């Protein structure tokens, strides 16, 4: 299924209904814009348009679309367990609740009055009713509907590369149509006012259009008020249900959710992981706004998968489309049932790989025995010089996610990244023995996952991704370094520079991994028969003994059992 059509049945229903309503609004506004030509042009196009929209099938489709969109929106509000939303979602929510205030009276004045009372709601009739006293409310209604529709379209279509390339042109068109529509209404509103200025002409006009008398007009006003009150009663119920669920959930927060490289929070059973992130202000990418289409909110789940709700067919379709591992879920779809640990796989900005909550004493630092791994794509500049920026970002995000899965899955964390390079760090309560073993297993997993990534991107890459890794270990200072908001958890120590040098050695020797013999010793790696070389290290009088691996997967058969891995002293 194409990315644009992913999602649950209810999500796709809201999408289709929204597209139908947007198409209706767009053609209606185009009809308004023809007022810049003539009133006759407006009426001619309106006859063609209403022949479709007021036919039996057209009426059923439009009514169903409006009902489905409204019910879907109110249901979503009622099911919300947090109202901490991105600004664009708040805009959609406010506009969605505000539009009926002006739209329902307009529907009653036109379609309902035509169908029930026989009023001929031609363009001339409507222009006479709204010009000039009601122009302010009609202008506001037009702009609210158009902005609501365009925002929804933007956050749906932005998953498509073609849309991003056409955005400037579409933005111009999206600005011109409502402007032309309002100018058309103003132009012909004046014309109709002049045409009906004479009492005799006005009387003939009223008779031709079945203009409502005072009693009929009071009836129409009553219908308008009833429609508004009914909608806002339903909206109030939905909001109260949403707020009630939120408050009830706060009283039941007892299930722990641990974010890898992030905080430990507590929640009640029921909300999605994305909602939990928003409740606790934890940065969490979600390009499609939690509709299960884009996969950017995906998480890796550690421990018992029963801690989250079972994935739906719609979620599985999205996960399969990105080749996700078995323990990867969509945060916007996975609802928490029991204690769980999750890793956000796509993170942006200064919060990437950094805890949201920091203890006061972290800035003092501590000395730890750590293994350090550098990973880099070989020939990345040449590989991407002819690609579009979006394609480069897409490739990098896939690469970073792959490395993140291997590193975090092996018990390490990503300390830093620059371009296509990553610095990963591994520690363990047992010291270097456990840290080096984790790092070696991570290298093997990186090799395996890069192979899977290459198969998945085979049609998009002229040649497979090739990586170089450098691995070393030693004592480091681990702490929060920087000034003000720029402070971040980091490590400082000579092994960082050595690991960086070994990554360069791997490139020089055309191998995948250059690992120091010290890591092999502490990690319990059998080294007999391996390719070795001595490498000079800046600042050290003695060269470093290095082991070379064409494929990091060759490490696994050489790892001794854990109890026999630690070196004897």
How do residues 450-460 score in pLDDT, each as one tens digit? Answer: 999 888 888 77
* CA angle in degrees (0–180, nearest 5) for 337-342-347: 135
Residues of each domain in the chain carrying CATH 3.30.70.1230: 361-564
Q: How far is CA 186 from CA 40, 174, 201, in A?
A: 15, 19, 21
How do residues 445-500 score in pLDDT, each as one tens digit? Answer: 999 999 998 888 887 777 888 999 999 998 876 655 444 444 445 676 778 888 98
Residues 553, 321: Cα–Cα separation, whole Å: 26
Does CATH number 3.40.50.11740 belong to domain 255-349?
no
Question: The tokens of 477 are what?
Answer: 């200072």
* Helix 87-107 vs helix 214-251: crossing angle, to nearest 10: 150
Q: What is the pTM of this model?
A: 0.58
Residues 556, 118: Cα–Cα separation, whole Å: 82
Q: Are strands 467-481 and 513-516 parallel, antiparallel or unpaired?
A: parallel
Residues of each domain in the chain carrying CATH 3.10.20.30: 255-349
Q: How far is CA 337 from CA 83, 271, 305, in A?
A: 21, 9, 10
In CATH terms, the fold of domain 361-564 is: Alpha-Beta Plaits (3.30.70)
Question: For the structural domain made of 7-247, what CATH number should be given?
Answer: 1.20.1300
Q: What is the DSSP letter of 272?
A: B
- The average confidence (pLDDT) of the chain is 85
User: Is 80 exceeded by the pLDDT of residue 262?
Assistant: no
| Average pLDDT, integer, range 6-25 | 89
Q: How confident is the model at residue 215 (pLDDT cuts 50, 70, 90)?
A: very high
Residues 69, 157: Cα–Cα separation, whole Å: 19
Residues of each domain in the chain carrying CATH 1.20.1300: 7-247
């Amino acid at each position: 299924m194409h990315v644009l059509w992913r999602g649950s049945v209810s999500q796709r229903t809201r999408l289709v209904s929204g597209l139908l309503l947007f198409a209706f609004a767009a053609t209606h506004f185009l009809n308004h814009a023809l007022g810049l030509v003539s009133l006759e042009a407006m009426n001619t196009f309106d006859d063609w348009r209403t022949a479709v929209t007021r036919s039996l099938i057209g009426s059923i489709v439009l009514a169903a679309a409006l009902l489905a969109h409204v019910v879907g929106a109110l249901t979503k509000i009622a099911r919300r367990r947090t109202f901490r939303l991105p600004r664009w979602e708040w805009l959609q929510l406010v506009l969605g609740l505000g539009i009926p205030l002006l739209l329902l009276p307009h529907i009653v004045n036109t379609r309902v009055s035509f169908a029930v009372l026989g009023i001929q709601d031609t363009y001339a009739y409507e222009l006479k009713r709204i010009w000039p006293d009601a122009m302010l409310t009609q202008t506001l209604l037009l702009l609210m509907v158009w902005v609501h529709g365009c925002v929804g379209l933007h956050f749906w279509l932005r998953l498509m590369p073609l849309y991003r390339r056409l955005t400037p042109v579409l933005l111009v068109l999206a600005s011109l149509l409502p402007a032309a529509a309002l100018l058309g209404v103003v132009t012909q509103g004046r014309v109709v006012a002049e045409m009906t200025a004479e009492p005799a002409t006005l009387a003939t006009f009223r008779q031709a259009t079945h203009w409502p008398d005072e009693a009929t007009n009071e009836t129409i006003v009553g219908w308008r008020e009833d429609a508004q009150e009914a909608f806002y009663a339903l909206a109030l119920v939905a909001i109260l249900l949403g707020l009630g669920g939120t408050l009830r959930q706060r009283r039941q927060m007892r299930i722990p959710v641990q974010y890898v490289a992030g905080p430990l929070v507590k929640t009640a059973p029921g909300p999605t992981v994305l909602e939990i992130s928003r409740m606790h202000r934890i940065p969490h990418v979600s390009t499609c706004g939690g509709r299960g289409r884009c996969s950017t909110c995906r998480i890796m789940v550690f421990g018992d998968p029963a801690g989250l709700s079972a994935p739906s067919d719609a979620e599985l379709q999205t996960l399969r489309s990105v080749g996700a591992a078995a323990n990867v879920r969509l945060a916007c779809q996975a609802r928490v049932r029991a204690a769980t640990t999750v890793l956000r796989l796509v993170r942006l900005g200064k919060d990437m790989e950094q805890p949201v909550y920091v203890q006061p004493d972290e800035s003092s630092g501590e000395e730890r025995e750590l293994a350090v791994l550098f990973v880099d794509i070989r020939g990345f500049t040449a590989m991407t010089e002819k690609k579009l920026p979006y394609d480069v970002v897409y490739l990098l995000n896939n690469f970073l996610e792959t490395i993140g899965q291997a590193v975090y899955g092996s018990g390490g964390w990503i300390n830093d990244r620059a371009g296509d390079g990553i610095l990963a760090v591994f520690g363990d309560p047992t010291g270097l023995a456990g840290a080096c073993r984790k790092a070696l297993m991570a290298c093997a997993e990186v090799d395996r996952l890069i192979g899977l990534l290459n198969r998945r991107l085979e049609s998009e890459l002229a040649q497979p991704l090739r990586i170089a890794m450098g691995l070393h270990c030693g004592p480091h200072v681990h702490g929060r370094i920087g000034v003000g908001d720029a402070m971040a958890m980091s490590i400082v120590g000579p092994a960082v520079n050595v690991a960086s040098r070994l990554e360069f050695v791997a490139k020089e020797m055309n191998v995948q991994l250059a690992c120091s013999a010290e890591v092999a010793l502490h990690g319990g790696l059998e080294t007999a028969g391996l390719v070795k070389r001595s490498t000079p290290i800046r600042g050290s009088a003695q060269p470093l003994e290095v082991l070379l691996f064409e494929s990091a997967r060759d490490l696994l058969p050489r790892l001794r059992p854990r109890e026999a891995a630690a070196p004897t002293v």
